[in-house]
Copies of this chain bind each other. A is one copy, B any other.
């Protein structure tokens, strides 16, 4: 094994890959250590349990994803275009994952929500916090769009949650069919859910043509 500081990172990285590929329940600590190339004692030096490791994996993944979301959603582009870029970035991420491991692995947070949120309160709470943060970030952009007269939806919070729900639902289909093209529908559906129009754009961007 390398330096202690490497070992923790290696465990986290191996665990994230394995959880994305096979879920949480299917994994054992021994397998994670083997993939990370560290002895089992090293695992328990850093983490009290597999659940504590999962929370660390979730936190690390969200720190990275949040930074990407902020870069896109806080840019100077028009608000609806930022949402479009978020969907395009999601599709690009899923495609990159598919190319590296052969299958679309989906959203780590969505996967763990359906697998684990009714079983451990610690995971449930952390996943709730992350989805609330995502909904809040999307809601800010919807509010901006509404102020510019580009969205007509009344309840921006519910609308933001519906956009994130549509994202999770289409990522589920992308995983089921191992095909990221299912994410193409996100932009048109988002416009429909927001009662949105994009000024100056061609008719195909108006709702709800799916063309």
Contacts and interface: CB of A to CB of B under 8 A. Distances in A.
26 contacts: A22-B119, A23-B23, A23-B25, A23-B116, A25-B26, A103-B118, A104-B118, A110-B172, A114-B172, A114-B175, A115-B115, A117-B176, A124-B176, A153-B209, A154-B208, A154-B209, A159-B210, A161-B182, A162-B166, A162-B170, A162-B189, A166-B169, A168-B172, A169-B169, A192-B193, A192-B208
B152 A113 contact: no
Interface of A: 21-23, 25-26, 103-106, 110-111, 113-119, 124, 127-128, 131, 152-155, 158-159, 161-162, 164-170, 172-173, 175-178, 182, 185, 189, 192-195, 207-211
A41 B154 CA distance: 60
Contacts of A26: 25
Given A25-B23, A192-B208, A210-B154, A114 B117 contact: no
B118 A115 contact: no
A132 to B, nearest CB: 10
B172 A193 contact: no
Given A113-B172, A165-B185, 16 more contacts: A23-B115, A25-B26, A114-B172, A117-B175, A128-B177, A152-B208, A155-B209, A155-B211, A158-B185, A159-B208, A161-B185, A162-B166, A162-B210, A165-B170, A195-B207, A195-B208
10 residue pairs, one from A and one from B, having the closest CB atoms: A165-B169, A169-B169, A155-B210, A25-B26, A103-B118, A25-B25, A158-B210, A195-B208, A168-B169, A114-B114
